[in-house]
Amino acid sequence: MLLQEILSFNEQFVENKEYAPREVTKMPKKRMVVVSCMDARLIELLPKALDIHDGDAKVIRNAGGKIASAFDSVMQSVVASVYDLNADEIFLIGHHRCGASQTNPKGTLQKILDRGVASPEILSAIKHAGVDLEKWLFGFNDVCDSTQANVDLVRNHPLIPKDVPVHGLVIDPHTGKLDVVIDGYKALNSETK
């Protein structure tokens, strides 16, 4: 069982004091916050490609690295990182070949029904309560467009200071190569002219 494996490893980890080299403060040393995808290929690759280590950055991950709305939990974390954790720059990083660009909301809803988690009546009630589950489950069509949309949302957010650079990048999940969609410094410079 996976939980038992984790607990067994953790017992040895603590007993051997393997946490000692990791002791850092909660304030990001590089004063940055990163929003990216939860893709398993990025667990080690993303920090290595960005040259970030424990204590360097606040990292927020979800399906597709998507910011769903101006006041969702991802945006709440970004705002907290800027004001409470001294992050001076925001990096919004999508990745090529992202599963969120290949979502099938109808298929996901069918799987929910097939597993008996919800009935058609419950899904209908959710719809009548104003929640569009297909829209909620949908990822995006194009990673660069999604990254641009995230940057626009954050840059125009009423609680994000206008002097904070908001960068949009896309990483290759195999090589770690970063492509710049939006250079936050250039965007700031063009706004001040």
Residues annotated as binding site for Zn(2+)?
A: 37, 39, 95, 98
**Whole-angstrom Cα distance, residue 107 to residue 154?**
31
CA distance readout (Å), 81 to 12, 33, 120, 187: 32, 7, 40, 21
Residue type, 63: A
**Whole-angstrom Cα distance, residue 184 to residue 186?**
6
**Whole-angstrom Cα distance, residue 129 to residue 133?**
11
Residue type, 115: R
For residue 135, the Cα-to-chain-centroid distance in whole angstroms is 18
Annotated binding site: 37, 39, 95, 98
Residue type, 178: L
**Whole-angstrom Cα distance, residue 109 to residue 117?**
10
